[in-house]
A and B are shown apart, each in its own frame.
Chain A
C-alpha cells in the first residue's frame, strides 16, 4: 500500500478510528494486525519472510538475554546476522554478484556459468533487516534488554508507518514506546496530520512533478547535451529530496497520530555547508546505523588517519551497495566517500584559502559558499544514483557542461515532453512549490516550524492548511507512483 494511494486514503482514517475507538489494551494487537495488512497488501508471500525474520530475531534475542558472557551469546548473534544478511543477499545481491562474476570471467576469457534467481525484491527488506540487525547487535552488546513479548517485538519490526522505507529505528528508542499506552491527544494528532499533509505535498506536488522533467532525460540521456542534462540533474536533486523526505514526513506524521515518535531522518540537508555536514542531515537513521554498526566497529577515527579514511570509504561503498544492487549505486557511494576523504585531507588548505579570500571573517558568506559547493557536489553524485546504467551515468557526467553553444530548439521539446503541453504552467507550479519547500527549510534551520506556525493567528493557520490541501488537490499528480526509496 502506498501512502499516496486511494487504498491508503481509506485505510488510514478507518485504522485511526478503530485504534482510538478500541480499549487501550487492544491497540497494540490492532497495530500489529494493521502492520501485516499494510505489508501483505503488496505481495502476501513476503509476509512469510517478514514473520520468519521476526521469529528468528526474537528467539535469538531472548536466548542471548539468558546467557551471561559474550562468548555464549555469540552463536545466536551469528545465527541472526546470517539469517538477516543472508536474506538480504539472496533477494537483493545474489544476481548482482553472479552477473558481475560472469562478466569478469568473460572478460578474462574464463568459462563460468552461474545461476540467476528469479526473485522479486521484497518491499522494505533493506530497512527491516537493518533495524533487526541493530536490535540483535545491541542485545548482544548488552546495550539493550531483549524484548520478551513476541507480539511487541513483531510490532517493533513491522510497525507500518516506517516498515517499508524507514526511518530505521533502534530498539532503545522504539521498544519503550511500544510498552506505553497511547491515549488520544489532540495536539499530537493534529501535529501528526500537519506533518502528513506536508509530506504528501512534497510527494505529489513537487517530487512527482519533477520526475516528469527528470525521467525523459535520464531515460534517453544520449539525445541531450548541456542545459537539458543540467536541468534534469537539478530536477532529480530536488525530486529525491522531496520524495524521500516526503515519505519520511508521512511516516513520522502517521506514527505521531498513533502516539509514537519516530526519529528525525532529514534536517534541511541541502543547507549543509560541507559533505560531512550533508551526511549528518540526510537519511540520518541510515547514516547513524552505518556509524554505529560499521564505522565504529572498524575502528572509526581511533586507528590513525589513513585507517580512518579507509573506514570512511568502506562505509560509503557499503552505503552505496545498500541502496541498490548496481554499480551505479556503488559508484555513487564511492563518490561520496571520496568527497569526505578529500574534504578531510584538504581541510587545512581550505581554511587557509578562506582566510586568504577574507571568507573567514564573513561567516555567513562562507556558509553560503560552502552550501552552494556542497549542493553542487551532491547533485553531481545524484547522476550516478539516478542513471539507468553506468554508460548513461558517465555520459551525463561528462556532457553536463558541453554543447552549451548548440541550439536548444531541437532538445528542449524532448526534455520537457514529460510535462505535457502545459509545460509552462507545470514549470511555474514546480517553481512555486520548490520555493515554498526552500522557505520552509530555511525557516526550520532557524527554529521549529511548528512553533512558528503556532504563533500565527488561528484564522491564518487554518487558511494556510486549506490552501495547502487545495494546492495538493488541484496541482497534485495522482498516479500512485511509488516512492523512490521503496525499491531499496
Chain B
C-alpha cells in the first residue's frame, strides 16, 4: 500500500503543482466571471448594493474619489443580479459577511426598484414562522439557492470555495481571457461591472432588438410577480443593520424610458412607498429613474453613462449632511 501511496502522492503532487501554477496565472492575469472579483475582494467599509442595474451603473472609484474623506473604505460594488441579490435574507447574510468588521462610518448605497422587492405571485409566505426556518426561506425566496445566499467565504483571495462551486468554465479559459481589450464584460476589482460594448448609437437596430428582448422578459416578470411586503421588510432590516455602520442612501437608478414606463405601470406607487420607507428609516432617497442616460439594452446604463451617473451621485451625496 505504501508503494501505491508514494506513487499516487508523486503523481498528484506533480499534477497539483502544474495545475496550481496554471490556476494561479489564470487568476492573476485572467478573468473568471462577472461575480468572482467581488468575492475575492477584501471585506469592505462602503458598499453599493442592488442588482445588475447597480452593478453596471455605479462606479465605486468615482464615489471614493469624491467621498473618500467622509466614509470608510475599501469601496466595493457588491450588487449582483436580480436572480442573485434581490433584497432578502440570503443577500442580507452575504452583506453581513462582506462588511469589514468594526466599520462605523461607511457609505451604503442601496439601489431599489420594484423588481428587487418583488416575489412570484404564488410564493407561499403567509403563515411562515418568524424567524423563518431554512425550508420556508427556500420556499419563499427563489434566490436562496443562489451563490450569493450560499457562499460562506466572501472575502478570500483566491476564493477556492467560489471556484469549486461556481466556476462553470474550464480553467484553461482563464488563461485565454488575459487580454482585457478583447473582453466585453469586465468586472473591476472594486466590483463595478463594465460592459465594453460600442455605444448604442452606433447600431440603433441592435439597441432596439436588445431593448425589445429585455422588455419582453420584464413584462413576463410583471405579469407573474408582485411587490412583496416580506421583501420590503428585508430591505428595512438591511437598512437598520447598515445604519449601525454608517450612512445609508436609497437610490432609484435611471434606466431606459420604456423600462421606466413599465416600472411605473407595474407598481405606480413605488416612489411613494420608498419615500415613506426612507422617511421612516431616516435615510435619504434619491430618485433618478426618469433621468435620460443611455443604456446598452433598455435597462442597464452604458459604461460612459455609468461614469456620469456615478459622478452625479457622488456630488449629490457630498451635499448630504455629515453624520456624526
Contacts and interface: CB of A to CB of B under 8 A. Distances in A.
A184 B1 contact: yes
Contact of A190 (B4, B14, B18, B22): B4
Contacts of A421: 184
Interface residues of B, number: 23
A135 B8 CA distance: 38
B172 A474 contact: yes
Contacts of B22: 473-474
A469 B11 contact: yes
Contacts of A470: 15, 18-19
Interface stretch (A43-51, A159-167, A376-384, A475-483): A475-483
A101 B188 CA distance: 57
Contacts of A296: none
A475 B19 CA distance: 11
Interface residues of A, number: 24
Contacts of B168: 477-479
B176 A6 contact: no
Contacts of A477: 168-170
Nearest to B15: A469
Given A465-B11, A466-B14, A186 B169 contact: no
A189 B3 CA distance: 12
A292 B4 CA distance: 41
B146 interface: no
Contacts of A462: 7, 11
A186 B172 contact: no
B169 A474 contact: no
A186 B176 CA distance: 40
B270 interface: no
A478 B167 contact: yes
Contacts of A478: 164, 167-168
Interface in B4-48: 4, 7-8, 11-12, 14-15, 18-19, 22
B173 interface: yes
Nearest to A476: B170
B170 A20 contact: no
Nearest to A425: B176
Interface in A21-50: none
A289 B140 CA distance: 46
B170 A189 contact: no
A151 interface: no
A343 to B, nearest CB: 41
A422 B14 contact: no
Nearest to A479: B168
A474 B175 CA distance: 10
B218 interface: no
B171 interface: yes
B124 to A, nearest CB: 15
Contacts of B15: 466, 469-470, 473
Interface centre among B4, B167, B184 (most CB of A within 10 A): B4
B18 A420 contact: no
Nearest to B176: A422
A466 B4 contact: no
A473 B175 CA distance: 13
B130 to A, nearest CB: 28
Interface centre among B12, B18, B172 (most CB of A within 10 A): B172
Nearest to B183: A421
Contacts of B7: 462
Given A186-B1, A425-B176, A475-B171, 17 more contacts: A6-B165, A184-B1, A421-B184, A422-B173, A425-B172, A429-B170, A429-B172, A462-B7, A462-B11, A465-B11, A466-B14, A469-B15, A470-B18, A473-B19, A473-B22, A474-B172, A478-B164
24 contacts: A20-B1, A184-B1, A186-B3, A189-B4, A193-B8, A420-B169, A420-B173, A422-B173, A429-B170, A462-B11, A466-B14, A466-B18, A469-B15, A470-B15, A470-B18, A470-B19, A473-B15, A473-B19, A474-B170, A474-B171, A474-B172, A476-B171, A478-B168, A479-B168
Interface of A: 6, 20, 184, 186, 189-190, 193, 420-422, 425, 429, 462, 465-466, 469-470, 473-479
